[in-house]
C-alpha cells in the first residue's frame, strides 16, 4: 500500500505511475488530493479521474481524508 499526501505533487506522481503501469505492482494507492492548491485543480482532478477510468484502474483511491 502507498498513501500519497504530498501537497499537490500527487498529480505528477500518479500520472507517471499510470503511464509506466507501475500501479499494477501496488495493491492499494490511497491519495489525498490537493486540487484546491491550484487555479486549474478541478481540471487536474477530472483529467486524472478520466485517466483512471479509461485504464480500468481499481486500486487507486482518490478519496483518502
Q: How far is 50 from 20, CA to CA, in rounded Å?
A: 17
Confidence of residue 3 (pLDDT cuts 50, 70, 90): very high
Residue 65 has a pLDDT of 64
pTM for the structure as a whole: 0.87
Separation of CA 46 from chain center: 10
CA-angle at 34, arms to 37 and 14, nearest 5°: 125
Predicted confidence (pLDDT) at residue 56 exceeds the cutoff of 90: yes
Structural domain total, the chain: 1
Sheet holding 29-31, edge to edge: 2-4, 29-31, 60-61
* Cα 43–chain centre separation: 13
Range of the domain at 42: 2-61
pLDDT at 21 over 70: yes
Q: Is residue 28 within 8 Å of residue 2, measured between CB atoms?
A: yes
Looking at the predicted structure, is the pLDDT value of residue 64 above 80?
no
Amino acid at each position: 500500500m502507498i498513501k500519497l499526501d504530498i501537497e499537490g505533487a500527487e498529480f505528477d506522481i500518479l500520472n507517471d505511475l499510470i503511464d509506466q503501469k507501475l500501479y499494477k505492482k501496488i495493491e492499494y494507492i490511497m491519495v489525498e488530493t490537493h486540487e484546491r492548491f491550484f487555479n486549474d485543480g478541478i481540471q487536474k482532478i477530472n483529467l486524472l479521474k478520466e485517466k483512471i477510468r479509461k485504464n480500468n484502474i481499481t486500486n487507486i483511491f482518490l478519496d483518502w481524508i
